[in-house]
A and B are shown apart, each in its own frame.
Chain A
């Protein structure tokens, strides 16, 4: 069965520093992969998605993610973090024939001034 692992529960970075959030997936074929962000008190918002093609995908708010088949990873990156990026980030994989999303457990990002 498809699954997603986010190994980091909580990450703290300084404002202006670079960021990488890890995501590993388990899937038999080429997966559809997603990153969602949940700002405090709000619902989730799609940051970016990977279906096929270029393995480096650009998203909103200056985020990007790279699909690495050999590592079964889809890590999220941002070169310079802003205080407004403090939020919880969820990686997700499509659930095969069911057309459902399977979410990871999330990584809570704190940004220090």
Chain B
């Protein structure tokens, strides 16, 4: 069974802290994505990656960076957390031979105080 895991379900951080959100997939998928989900706004793409060490900006990359050192792991980094980054963060992976069928992790609800 396919699986995408995220390091934390709930996270509380203080303004200005550096925050790491980790995502791991066990399906050998090439593509990985980070979204944030906010009520009334749906899912918005932050960053995505088509390969190890490759990254592309999504629609709302400001205030975020990513790292993909291994194929199975895609990290989202908030360099200096701010209260407007309080949100649900969803990671997804996708097989390049099966575009758009994305497999999602359960999400990390991040609160920045």
- A-side residues, CB < 8 A to B, are 9, 32, 34, 41-46, 49, 90, 92, 94, 99-101, 103-106
Contact = CB atoms under 8 A, between A and B. Distances in A.
A101 B42 contact: no
A44 B104 contact: yes
A101 B40 contact: no
Interface in B36-51: 40-45, 48
Given A43-B90, A44-B90, A103 B104 contact: no
A37 to B, nearest CB: 11
A43 B42 contact: no
Contacts of B4: 43
Given A43-B4, A43-B90, A46-B102, A90 B42 contact: yes
Contacts of A32: 100
Given A43-B4, A100-B45, A104-B42, A49 B101 contact: yes
B5 to A, nearest CB: 10
B31 to A, nearest CB: 8
A103 B102 contact: no
A101 B59 CA distance: 11
Contacts of A34: 100
Contacts of B100: 32, 34, 49, 92, 94, 99, 101
B96 to A, nearest CB: 9
Given A90-B43, A106-B42, A101 B102 contact: yes
B98 to A, nearest CB: 10
A43 B105 contact: yes
* 7 tightest Cβ-Cβ pairs between the two chains A and B: A43-B104, A105-B42, A103-B43, A44-B104, A103-B42, A43-B106, A43-B105
Interface in B1-44: 4, 40-44
Contacts of B45: 100-101
Contacts of B105: 43
B40 A105 contact: yes
B42 A9 contact: no
